[in-house]
A and B are shown apart, each in its own frame.
Chain A
Amino acid sequence: MKIIIPVCLIICVSASCKKDQIITPELPERVFAGGETTIFSTGPDAFTFPLENISQTDLNTHFLADGAFAQHFVSAPATQFGGLGPLFNQNSCESCHIRNGRGIVPAFDGDPNSGLLLRLSIPGVGEHGGIVAVPGFGGQLQNKALFGASQEGKITRTEQTQLIEYLDGTSLSLSLPVYTISDPYIPLPAGVLISPRNAPPVFGLGLLDAIRTEDILALADENDLDGDGISGKPNMVWDVLAQSKEVGRFGWKAEQPNARQQAADAAHNDMGLTSYYFPEEHCAGQDNCQEGLQAGLDVDEDMSTLFAFYFQTLAVPAQRDANNPDVILGSTLFVDAQCSSCHTPRFITGSHPISSLSNQTIYPYTDLLLHDMGPGLADNRAVYSASGQEWRTPPLWGLGLTKVVNPKATFLHDGRAQTLEEAILWHGGEAESSREKFRTMPKSERNALLAFLEGL
């Protein structure tokens, strides 16, 4: 086999695998979804590799960061890793981000292993244009608590179904989950807004962090001046360290401006860990927020930095099956159906403190902007500039490996879509005409488009 590889290389390169195969010019480059950081893995560990081009120093830090991301935190006082809670959703990062991929939606009411959480607010505009927290609950339901403290409530799920018909006469039943809160520790105020959020994959976030702000803003078209039916606007969110409004990039509604604040916010709200970003417990002032408190911060600056460093230095897996005729056709259909108008294929990153991330040609398939996705996907809960119908375009790289990494993973912000086909059919609002193009395609073309997505 050792001999065959170089021979094959020569044949492939010289003959370009037959002239009659029509390959979209960008395809060879697209294979390297993360530019020089790309790794070639197709197995269940595909989301767990460090950047291919990482420096030795950064690799050593990545290993430390890996430990931090996997660390289970416990109640204070503790000899090691105290500070969990008192109220929390999970006790480690990786408990939600299974193998660095998507979380699992609750299998039953009160499922302790789920990676889905509920964001909460009451109507109105809060500090810095953000949400108004729910008195006694804050901005997120913590469905776990240290022993002796009361969890805020349980996550309960009911479902409604609706039927989608294709033009060719076949149909598909879509399931819409409705999340509510049961057994709240105190009565919930009337009119609480609930936004269910499943844990997203965390690889490739360093590259998204490295995209220049001006490149994101250049794609914004808030008033649809180009008349294509697609607007796209940045979420302007509060940057805690800068003490100013910045372009949001991370989270389902782009609520966080950078990787480090994203990490600190997740540690704070999901695990109850205070840090220099968020020095006060998220439940401060609540009756059920008395256990396990300690003087000083729960995680020091090093630990907080490591959480972010881990996912900043996680590599994106390469596109697969790039030469498959269906995949090639699908990539064309992806553009024809205007999927690429929001799922922007290509960026070139700017400079980043982690040098491996700088100046990379990447294929994330996102514009990082907010789009109105219609009432079907709406959570009806506004955050900063994002309305109750607007969501940030999620990146599509690595999409086809989602269920290889975690067979129970599902798609969209609340994990409602069991398949990519379902996820497409949920698109509405600005994406309605794209969805209709998909719905009215012959089956062969729908399959080609799906093959393209499965290859990402």
Chain B
Amino acid sequence: MKYPFLSTFLLAGLLLCSACEKDPGIIIPETDYSEILINTGENVILKTYESLAIKASALQTATLDLENNPNVSTLETAKAAWRSARSPWEQSEGFLFGPVDQEGIDPALDSWPVNVTDLNNVLASGNAITVDFLSQQEGTLKGFHTIEFLLWGENGDKQIADFTTREFEYLAAASAVLAGDAQKLYDLWKPAGGNFISNVLEAGAGSLLYISQKSALEEFTNALIIIADEVANGKINDPYSQQDPSLEESRFSANSKADFADNMRSIRNIYTGVFEAFGNGNSVSNIIEAQDASLNTRVLTEIDAAILSIENIPGTFSDAVFNSPNAVSAAQQAVRDLQATLEELVLPIISNL
């Protein structure tokens, strides 16, 4: 989702300026943002995708265990593995550009809604449920939400006795496909693989995608605004404004609050240049700090406030849209505040670098 933020006049001026830069009489000092690009690319983006690949692989193992030895314990382990893999994915939604977007991986991992009718038809058929078969299906028959639907059931209360053999098979195959897609995403980014990261690292110095370092920093910042918008005006707003839990993305597992909070953490990770134990802090935050220290503090405070207000929503999000409208409104507003700050105050600074 996008928004008009650019002052045409200012940018037209910049455009003319860039022509002037060639005039030897005018010297504009070029700031080198390499450290920010390197840290954000290598320590935040790449490590998040690595974590996703590792945890998706653990989910694959857990669903295989569940298939081979179905009991309450293996089911709980599989559910926990799903939540665990879900977290780095949601923390990657603050940078939904590159292979995840261009290679069709986002729909394969995270299509919504689940195609329940076709899923039931597959389960009821004699069709072999294999990795090969699911690889060729639409995203709405595989990925996080199909696995979630199978683990928790439509109403979130599925018991181990409710599972059929074919559901176990489906879970294992879908998790294997998910693990493969997550690994593919990581491989496409990493230097020894598809090396998409080179586009970021070489921004303004040979990158085909980013004609300048600023252009890459703008993409980072825009992506933060996009996810803030998506959480406030999509993920929270759709079920809340229409009072319809069927519009809630992770409702089977009641994981929506964790999803939203991890989306906010994704913003923090990119903005501050830290993901879990990784990252040296070289980030967009440094640029803002240098130009407007109070704005930097404001962004950090608003990220924390957004996470806190999401986590303060009582009970499940499905219940809260009916029973705790004030808390849901407050969370939505906190995310909107953050979005507005990023859009109206942070992005112009990046765009004018």
Give the CA-CA distance A48 to B137 in the complex, in Å. 27
- Chain A interface mostly: loop
A78 near B116 (CB under 8 angstroms)? yes
> Is residue A75 contacting chain B, with contact meaning CB distance below 8 A?
yes
Partner of B20, one of A2, A17, A78, A146: A17
Give the CA-CA distance A322 to B17 in the complex, in Å. 12
> Is residue B233 contacting chain A, with contact meaning CB distance below 8 A?
yes
Partner of B246, one of A38, A67, A80, A408: A80
Give the CA-CA distance A9 to B16 in the complex, in Å. 8
Binds B, one of A49-57, A123-131, A274-282, A422-430: A49-57
Give the CA-CA distance A13 to B10 in the complex, in Å. 12
**Shortest CB distance B56–A (Å):** 20
Binds B, one of A92-100, A185-193, A247-255, A371-379: A92-100
A72 near B111 (CB under 8 angstroms)? yes
A residues 411-453 touching B (CB-CB < 8 Å): none
Give the CA-CA distance A99 to B141 in the complex, in Å. 23
Give the CA-CA distance A59 to B23 in the complex, in Å. 40
Chain A's interface size range is 35 or more
A4-B28, A72-B139 in contact; A408/B102 too (CB < 8 A)? yes
Write out, one digit per residue, whether chain B residues 223-264 have a CB within 8 A of any chain A CB (1) or not (0): 000000100011000100000001100000000000000000
- Chain B residues lying within 8 Å of A17, measured Cβ to Cβ, are 16, 19-20, 23
B121 near A147 (CB under 8 angstroms)? yes
Nearest B-chain residue to A48, judged by Cβ: B2
Binds B, one of A206-214, A389-397, A399-407: A399-407
> Is residue A410 contacting chain B, with contact meaning CB distance below 8 A?
no
Write out, one digit per residue, whether chain B residues 86-122 have a CB within 8 A of any chain A CB (1) or not (0): 0000000000011001111001000111111110011
- Chain A residues lying within 8 Å of B118, measured Cβ to Cβ, are 74-75, 146-148, 292
Partner of A404, one of B209, B247, B353: B209
A147 near B122 (CB under 8 angstroms)? yes
A1 near B352 (CB under 8 angstroms)? yes
Nearest B-chain residue to A95, judged by Cβ: B107
B residues 196-229 touching A (CB-CB < 8 Å): 208-212, 215-216, 218-219, 222, 229
A75 near B17 (CB under 8 angstroms)? no
Give the CA-CA distance A99 to B106 in the complex, in Å. 12
A8-B26, A95-B107 in contact; A75/B117 too (CB < 8 A)? yes
- Chain B residues lying within 8 Å of A32, measured Cβ to Cβ, are 8, 12
Nearest A-chain residue to B103, judged by Cβ: A113
Give the CA-CA distance A98 to B101 in the complex, in Å. 8
Give the CA-CA distance A43 to B98 in the complex, in Å. 11
Give the CA-CA distance A12 to B125 in the complex, in Å. 70
- Chain B residues lying within 8 Å of A91, measured Cβ to Cβ, are 138-140
Interface size of B in residues (CB-CB distance below 8 Å): 64
> Is residue A66 contacting chain B, with contact meaning CB distance below 8 A?
yes
> Is residue A63 contacting chain B, with contact meaning CB distance below 8 A?
yes
- Chain B residues lying within 8 Å of A135, measured Cβ to Cβ, are none
- Chain A residues lying within 8 Å of B138, measured Cβ to Cβ, are 72, 91, 144
A5 near B14 (CB under 8 angstroms)? yes
Nearest B-chain residue to A70, judged by Cβ: B1
Q: How many A-B residue pairs have CB under 8 A?
A: 171
Partner of A40, one of B11, B28, B114: B11
A11-B26, A49-B4, A403-B208 in contact; A5/B117 too (CB < 8 A)? no
- Chain A residues lying within 8 Å of B155, measured Cβ to Cβ, are none
B234 near A67 (CB under 8 angstroms)? yes
B218 near A43 (CB under 8 angstroms)? yes
Give the CA-CA distance A43 to B220 in the complex, in Å. 11
Write out, one digit per residue, whether chain A residues 289-318 have a CB within 8 A of any chain B CB (1) or not (0): 001100000000000000000000000001
B117 near A74 (CB under 8 angstroms)? yes
B17 near A99 (CB under 8 angstroms)? no
**Shortest CB distance B2–A (Å):** 5
A42 near B116 (CB under 8 angstroms)? no
Give the CA-CA distance A38 to B4 in the complex, in Å. 10
> Is residue A39 contacting chain B, with contact meaning CB distance below 8 A?
yes
Give the CA-CA distance A40 to B9 in the complex, in Å. 10
> Is residue A175 contacting chain B, with contact meaning CB distance below 8 A?
no
Give the CA-CA distance A268 to B238 in the complex, in Å. 25
> Is residue A18 contacting chain B, with contact meaning CB distance below 8 A?
yes
B17 near A12 (CB under 8 angstroms)? yes
> Is residue A44 contacting chain B, with contact meaning CB distance below 8 A?
yes
Give the CA-CA distance A160 to B136 in the complex, in Å. 29
Give the CA-CA distance A320 to B112 in the complex, in Å. 38
Nearest B-chain residue to A18, judged by Cβ: B23
Partner of B102, one of A31, A49, A407: A407
Partner of B115, one of A48, A75, A403: A75
Interface residues of B, Cβ cutoff 8 Å to A: 1-4, 6, 8, 10-17, 19-20, 23, 26, 28, 31, 97-98, 101-104, 107, 111-118, 121-122, 125, 127, 136-141, 208-212, 215-216, 218-219, 222, 229, 233-234, 238, 246-247, 291, 352-353
Query: A41-B218, A74-B140 provided; 19 other pairs, C-beta below 8 A?
Result: A5-B14, A5-B352, A8-B26, A9-B16, A12-B16, A32-B12, A39-B4, A42-B212, A44-B101, A45-B219, A48-B2, A49-B2, A74-B115, A79-B113, A113-B103, A113-B104, A318-B11, A323-B19, A404-B209
19 A/B residue pairs, CB under 8 Å, sorted by A: A5-B10, A8-B13, A8-B26, A13-B16, A17-B20, A17-B23, A32-B12, A40-B14, A41-B6, A44-B102, A45-B219, A67-B1, A67-B238, A72-B107, A78-B117, A80-B246, A91-B138, A292-B118, A406-B102
